[in-house]
Structure 1
Amino acid sequence: MNERTMKAAYADLLTAIVDALDVPLPSLAETDEHAYHQLLEHRAGYVRSVLRANLSHSRDPWLAATQIRELSAEYPITYTPFEHAITSGSDR
């Protein structure tokens, strides 16, 4: 892999990591908060596992990025995201 290709591969890996861990905040319902924390725990755990395995074996950033994306799809967002209440200026 040349330097340009290597940089693109690691940029892709970093994007996959951010996408996996950057999930919307949950609504204020207790069940949504629980689901949010559980999702983050699952996703952080598999990101860590994929990176550890990648460092030990293939050292292929594109393979790791693909694995992270596939695992993210297996753990979709199932809770209601938080929504900011929009108030009009006349209500103040």
Structure 2
Amino acid sequence: MSERNMLSADVADLLSAILAALDIPLPAVENGSDRKHYRLLERRTTDVLVALSALLAHPEHPDLRDDAAYIRDCTAEHPVTYTPFRSNRTEADR
């Protein structure tokens, strides 16, 4: 069995940025929140796709920290603006 190595700091940073971009709350069922949720997820997915495509297009010059910063900047530009789903069950878990 081979020993599993830890992720390097820049890889962990990139994965953390991707997770933060794509891990958005479920939408409430009223006020068209589902449409806003879909559009936000689509926008953020596109931002991640652009960053990863650029990284793979230029593997000889990887700068994972810059890619992570790009994703974080895009995520900040497109915050959650819809009403997240809430229930007594999910509130009790907090």
| Bigger helix share | 1
Larger radius of gyration: 1
Q: Which segments of 5 or more consecutive residues in structure 2 lack a partner in the other structure?
A: 1-6, 90-94
Aligned residues between the structures: 81
Pairwise CA distance, 1:55: 2.1
Q: What's the Cα RMSD here?
A: 1.4
Matched, 1:51 2:65: no
TM-score, normalising length: structure 2? 0.80
Match of 1:66 among 62, 69, 77: 69
Paired amino acid for 2:17? A
TM-score (normalised: structure 1):
0.82
Unpaired stretches in structure 1, ≥5 consecutive residues: 1-5, 87-92
Runs of 4+ in 1 over 4 A off after TM superposition: none
In the alignment, what sits opposite 1:75? 78
| % same residue | 42
Once the two structures are TM-superposed, the CA of residue 11 in structure 1 deviates from its matched residue by 0.3
CA distance in 2, matches of 1:7, 1:81: 34
Query: Does residue 25 in structure 1 map to residue 39 in structure 2?
Result: no
Per the TM alignment, residue 30 of structure 1 is displaced from its structure 2 partner at its CA by 5.1
| 2:38 aligned partner | 37
